[in-house]
Amino acid sequence: MSFDLIVKGGTLPGGSKADIGIDGDRITAIEPKLEAVAGKVVDAAGHLVAPPFVDPHFHMDATLSYGMPRINASGTLLEGIALWGELKPLLTHEAVRERALSYCDWAASMGLLAIRTHVDVCDDRLLAVEALLEVKREVAPVIDLQLVAFPQDGFYRDPTAKQNTIRALDMGVDVVGGIPHFERTMEEGRRSVIELCEIAAERGLMIDMHCDETDDPMSRHIEQLAYEAHRLGLQGMVAGSHLTSMHSMDNYYASKLLPLMAEAEVAAIPNPLINIVLQGRHDTYPKRRGLTRVPEMLSYGIRVGFGQDCVLDPWYSLGTADMLDVAFMALHVAQMTSPADMRRLFDMVTTESAAIMRLPDYGLKVGAKASLVVLDAGDPIEALRLRAARRCVIASGKVVAEGSGGAMRLSLPGRPQTVDRRHRH
């Protein structure tokens, strides 16, 4: 027996020890011990071997733009949106592409190999759509990039958002987005959910809306989103991102809403790093945290995956492409501190988010794409505690990063051989 590559002696997230045999871009064997020759052996003895990290909510058109043309002084979501509006006319295809590719270098070095990025379609040039479609093709051997047509300035509120959303989908954008809480009225928000869900249903596409990203407990667009998922037969195809208003909702209303979401198989994508920063900005004390009801969702069987949302952009001034940072913040804010909860948090930045993105060949199983990460930790809880360094990242059967932490060596065609996470502008 022979393999192109064997990852030897690692500990899988469930705790068992295994050798993983890889041929071409596929996992072809997972056994306690493989007695075989291999073109290359990665020694993972004593280390956690996990499927790649997955970020189901990101903005790659805005990333690494921190400080351009100025910083967000108030730190609020609304100033962030206004600031992005100032930056948008200044964007060029090449600048968006270069920043996105630099971010993909960071992601690869962190073992973050699947990303769903929203792309703003409220720009008649659709320059960011074109640039990110190009980036998607370029990084495909390493990173699964999924694009969401996102009408940042409102599907109805922006005069050309509707036609641009359709144009972006025609160009090959994968998922239908929306932002109902930013429309002019609650009623327009409700209608935007209906129309966008109908567009997705006609095209057989998934839906992922920025939904109720506010502290207003009366922002209830998630109810309509769940209703439309049910009405249009889109179970398992729909996600609500952020859902921060649920933090502040009346408990009785939430007790009706949660089973409605479960019935419609609507997933939730909270973004704990950004929302602990953005929410509660109008509060004095007590100050609300603004994270949606994660443990309660899990108790109803609602799928939850955590997103990073922003790295060094008009909304968030930090970030390193490390999904363990995201899970670590979620652990604290949602108070998910039991061993079972902590293991689940690791799944929520790997397998659960992959399920939300409906990645067909993801995971540590025979026949799946041979993408994985070897971590400087013994198990998922230790990985969270240490926000463990990556020792080796394999994408589609090839070692793309080796080393540890900031000293990762990259092997990406046409890209620099080391990753530099400092930010200069």
How far the first Cα of the chain sits from its last, in Å, is: 52
The verdict on whether 213 is a catalytic residue reads yes
Nearest distance in Å: CB 389, Fe ion: 28
8 A C-beta contact, residue 48 and residue 32: no
At 26, is the secondary structure helix, strand, or coil?
strand
Site for Fe ion in 296-335 (CB under 5 A): 309
Strand boundaries in 182-303, DSSP class E: 206-211, 238-242, 267-269
Q: Least CB distance from residue 309 to Fe ion, whole Å?
A: 5
Q: Could you tell me the smallest distance in angstroms from the CB atom of residue 242 to Fe ion? A: 7
What does the alpha-carbon distance between residue 197 and residue 203 come to, in Å, rounded to a whole number?
10
Tell me whether residue 153 or residue 309 sits nearer to Fe ion (CB atom): 309
User: At 118, which helix (H) or strand (E)?
Assistant: strand 112-120
Please compute, for residue 337, the number of CA atoms within 13 A of its CA located in the half-sphere on the CB side: 3
Q: Which of 138, 213, 228, 402 is catalytic?
A: 213
Query: Shortest Cβ distance from residue 179 to Fe ion (Å)?
Result: 9
CB of 379 to Fe ion, least distance (A): 31
Determine the Cα–Cα distance for residues 369 and 169; give it in Å rounded to an integer. Answer: 27
Q: How far apart are CA 296 and CA 310, in angstroms?
A: 25
In angstroms, the Cα distances linking 17 to 43, 77, 249, 382 are 13, 45, 45, 16
- Nearest-CB residue for Fe ion: 309
User: Would residue 184 be called left, alpha or beta, if left means φ above 0 and alpha means ψ between -120 and 50 degrees?
Assistant: alpha
Contact at 8 Å (CB) between 208 and 268?
no
Among 222, 240, 311, residue whose Cα is nearest residue 274: 311
The CB-of-193 to Fe ion minimum distance in angstroms stands at 16
Q: Which is nearer to Fe ion, 152 or 351 (CB)?
A: 152
Integer Cα distance of 202 and 82 in angstroms: 33
Nearer to Fe ion, 144 or 208 (CB): 208
Residue 354 Cβ vs Fe ion, minimum distance, rounded to whole Å? 19
Q: Tell me if 115 sits within 8 A of 146, measured CB to CB.
A: yes
Told to check if 61 binds Fe ion by CB under 5 A, we report no
Site mask for Fe ion (CB under 5 A), range 358-397, x = bound: ----------------------------------------
Question: Which residue's entry shows tokens 């360094």?
Answer: 389
DSSP 3-state assignment of 140? coil
What's the closest the beta carbon of residue 59 comes to Fe ion, in angstroms?
Answer: 6
Report which of 36, 338, 12 is spatially closest to residue 22, judged by C-alpha positions: 36
161, 167, 164: which is closest to 184 by C-alpha? 161
**CB-based contact 53:110 (threshold 8 Å):** yes
**How are the residues of the chain apportioned to helix, strand and coil, as percentages rounded to the nearest 5?**
35, 20, 40
- Taking the C-alpha atoms of residue 53 and residue 369, their distance in angstroms, rounded to an integer, is 14
Kindly list the residues in this chain that would bind Fe ion in the complex (CB under 5 A): 309
Catalytic positions: 213
